[in-house]
């Protein structure tokens, strides 16, 4: 477990995270510009990159990586569970409408 007061607060790591976020954004834009994938695969790739970016922001910029494990896991699990529930409620229905051919 990390202690809140003991973690490394050097500026360098934040510049690295900022650089990584800019690079990942550039990759996303290039993927979209070049239309590298089909829409569904593109969505998967962009969401994958977005999840990495959000993990970097939450972990380093928001310092969640350095909080107590209880707080870390409680927040991550509860919010993720809500999103998973939303996903399984709504997306199969959206796909069903598409299959039914409703215009």
Partner 1 sequence: MADATLQHDAVQHGLPGEYEAPLFGAYSKKVGMWLFLASDSLTFGALLVAFSYNRISMPAWPTPFGKESIANATVMTACLLSSSLTMVLGVLAAKRGDRAWTRNWLLATMAFGTAFIVLHGMEWSKLIGQGLALPGFPKVPGQAEEFAAVVQAVPQFPATFFGLTGMHMLHVTLGVIYLGVVALRKWFLPILGAIWIAGYALIPSYSVFHYGIHVLGLALVVALIILLLKPKVYDAHDVEVSGLYWHFVDLVWMFIFPLVYLMSTKIV
102 near partner 1, judged by CB under 8 A: yes
- For the chain, how big is the Rg over CA atoms in Å? 18
Integer CA distances (angstroms), 12 to 17, 19, 59, 78, in order: 9, 11, 15, 32
Query: Residue 56 Cβ, how far from partner 1 at the closest point, in Å?
Result: 9
Residues 6+ apart with CB under 8 A from 76: 64
Contact status, residue 16 vs residue 79, Cβ threshold 8 Å:
no
The binder of partner 1 chosen from 15, 36, 41, 73 (CB under 8 A): 15
Residues numbered 34 to 93 that lie near partner 1 (CB under 8 A) are 35, 39, 42-43, 46-47, 49-50, 53-54, 57-58, 60-63, 67-68, 70-71, 75, 78-79, 82-83, 86-87, 90-91, 93
Residues that contact partner 1, how many (by CB under 8 A): 50
């Amino acid at each position: 477990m990390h202690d809140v007061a003991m973690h490394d607060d050097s500026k360098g790591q934040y510049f690295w995270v900022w650089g990584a976020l800019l690079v990942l954004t550039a990759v996303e834009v290039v993927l979209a510009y070049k239309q590298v994938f089909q829409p569904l695969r593109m969505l998967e790739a962009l969401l994958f990159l977005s999840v990495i970016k959000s993990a970097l922001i939450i972990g380093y910029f928001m310092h969640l990586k350095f909080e107590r494990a209880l707080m870390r896991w409680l927040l991550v699990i509860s919010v993720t569970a809500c999103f998973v529930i939303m996903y399984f409620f709504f997306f199969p229905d959206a796909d069903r409408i598409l299959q039914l051919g409703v215009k």
